[in-house]
Chain A
């Protein structure tokens, strides 16, 4: 340990603690590994900690930016059902939680849908922002998902969804629960139209989201170490009265139990999914020589991932 880590970093840490770490002015941020990371390094590394490889939770816009060709995407307008249909109040008003989440994330609700290109192929992409009330699903998220599916059907594009949620939004109660049936209904339409549906399960994907649209993708991919499951860790521990093993409900564990197809790190998602949809849509021959080269690299990666 040199003097910089000994003195300057703790100093910086206390400085940072006084300000919210998401503040735009600060150049530094932290990670689960307690290390200070230069923000620009983190962004360049697809929001994956350069020190410990933790895949950090990201906003919908950041997700679209790092995933789509030339960082270009167009946000689709999704319907806005009435806010707070049940006038829900717990220790706080739901409407105040919504206002705060909107201010924090600059999103209308947890799910956003975008269109763009992946390896030259038009795709419709959806993502969930965990910073918006834990990525929870209510009417607005349900409508956004359905809207995204309809857009993919209308435009005959693959539908790729990045899930990140603890489950349904309690403040919309039964209306939130019904989104499980409503979103699955939409997926059925997608499948009827033979449109590829790929789900990327990111940390965390649990509860009503994993038990509805997220686990019925044609192909299921997870980011490394993502928590994936139905019941929360604490609920299981309380029920069975035991502490759970360390790796329980991680992406790798689920893959070992046959629950998902692939675990792919964030920087390789573009290549892996790009290759998958190229092959699924049989666009192999139409690609240019450069792209073909790229494809061969992609295939190599697939083989590596698969092995």
Chain B
């Protein structure tokens, strides 16, 4: 049984018609395949898919990012890496099955692979806690990231989580500290790390493993500070305002690329990643290959600095700031224009004064 999202009702009707036509024995009295009709409906379906998917709202993308049939981390780990061995435990409390971590090989190169795994069916979803990691999960990642650093092995993480798990035990064992330490560890690595957001990039639970040299997103993945539901119920006081919240938060891959937070978007097949999982594999391979090559040209110190500069740059507008690439200082020096601009923004009185001055000067110039 295929599952459809609410905005796919037309597509559902067409695909069901198509399935029936392709399997005529299910219909009484029909033994011949009506190729002409199949061709016609296939065309109609392609048209419809293009129409619906070329113009997705951010909320629709959120639904796609959470689609039941969307390929999970495990799928990518199985299909992109050889010799992958899943390693367990934080050596202190437990093994968190919401995250898979292990060494493996990508095109002859040793890598550490981290994958937040939501599970494919109800049983595995429960076992994987729906991809919501607990402190011991982050601590398992830290332990193995440090090992990768020691052996100079690059790290690739697949991000797909609604967020870190909000539970009593998780709080008691220091969920906040575990996430903070995971960011701290990621930020101090001298090996390249690449994060690929394949579905949901849920807030702190995601950034804990996405503080990396390169952040790549699937076309229909989302990455946000809070879920649209959470944002809607806090700011709109109405959990149903998810459409508005998703738009306001600008959580799509394109939005994040525009904000220069992520580095690259991997295009998905028409209709979303779940409609052609294998087509996606080639695109990811190309991207991982390219990024590993680019980063492998840097020294260990330069890798650390590359990551540091990348994150320091976020939110700082180019052109208004001088000296953005100063390596020994983290702070920015604002130039005179940005100061004036801020003053105008903060102090509306400056505008009439400026206008009056401009008029005065032009009058004087005219007189001369």
Binding site for B on A (CB under 8 A): 79-83, 85-86, 88-91, 102, 139, 142-143, 146-147, 149-150, 168, 170-178, 180-182, 184-189, 206-208, 210-216, 228-232, 235-236, 239-240, 244, 248-249, 257-259
Q: Contacts A236-B168, A248-B168 given; indicate if A170 touches B183 (C-beta within 8 A).
A: no
CB distance from A306 to the nearest CB of B (A): 21
Contacting pair A184 B183 (CB below 8 A): yes
Contacting pair B167 A236 (CB below 8 A): yes
Which of chain B's residues 299-323 have a Cβ closer than 8 Å to chain A? Answer: 307-308, 311-312, 314-317
A-contacting 9-mer, from B26-34, B100-108, B145-153, B248-256: B248-256
Chain B residues, CB < 8 A from A189: 330
State in angstroms the CA–CA spacing of A181 and B181 once bound together. 11
Contacting pair B180 A212 (CB below 8 A): yes
Q: Number of contacts between A and B (CB, 8 Å)?
A: 188
Chain B residues, CB < 8 A from A80: 334, 338, 342
Chain B residues, CB < 8 A from A181: 183, 186-187, 207, 211, 311
Name the residue of chain B whose CB is nearest to the CB of A88: B248
Which of chain B's residues 160-186 have a Cβ closer than 8 Å to chain A? Answer: 164-168, 170-177, 179-181, 183-184, 186
Does B235 make an interface contact (CB < 8 A)? Answer: yes
Which size bracket describes the interface of B in this complex? 35 or more
Contacting pair A170 B177 (CB below 8 A): no
Contacting pair A230 B311 (CB below 8 A): no
Does B7 make an interface contact (CB < 8 A)? Answer: no
Chain B residues, CB < 8 A from A180: 183, 204, 207, 211
Name the residue of chain B whose CB is nearest to the CB of A92: B235
CB distance from B295 to the nearest CB of A (A): 18
A-B CB contact pairs (8 Å), 8 listed: A88-B248, A90-B235, A90-B236, A149-B330, A174-B250, A187-B184, A211-B164, A215-B174
A-contacting 9-mer, from B12-20, B69-77, B224-232: B224-232
Chain B residues, CB < 8 A from A85: 259, 315
Does B42 make an interface contact (CB < 8 A)? Answer: no
State in angstroms the CA–CA spacing of A211 and B255 once bound together. 25
Does B218 make an interface contact (CB < 8 A)? Answer: no
Beyond known contacts A102-B346, A176-B225: 12 more, CB 8 A cutoff: A79-B334, A86-B249, A147-B331, A173-B248, A174-B250, A174-B251, A212-B179, A229-B171, A231-B166, A239-B167, A240-B167, A259-B177
Chain B residues, CB < 8 A from A177: 203-204, 207, 223-225
Q: Contacts A86-B250, A185-B187, A240-B168 given; indicate if A150 touches B329 (C-beta within 8 A).
A: yes
Q: Among B168, B183, B249, point to the contact of A174 (Cβ < 8 A).
A: B249
CB distance from B305 to the nearest CB of A (A): 11
Chain B residues, CB < 8 A from A232: 166
State in angstroms the CA–CA spacing of A102 and B312 once bound together. 25
Contacting pair A143 B332 (CB below 8 A): yes
Q: Among A86, A185, A239, point to the contact of B166 (Cβ < 8 A).
A: A239
CB distance from B225 to the nearest CB of A (A): 4
CB distance from B303 to the nearest CB of A (A): 14
CB distance from B74 to the nearest CB of A (A): 24
Does B109 make an interface contact (CB < 8 A)? Answer: no
State in angstroms the CA–CA spacing of A212 and B187 once bound together. 12
Q: Among A79, A182, A216, A231, point to the contact of B171 (Cβ < 8 A).
A: A231
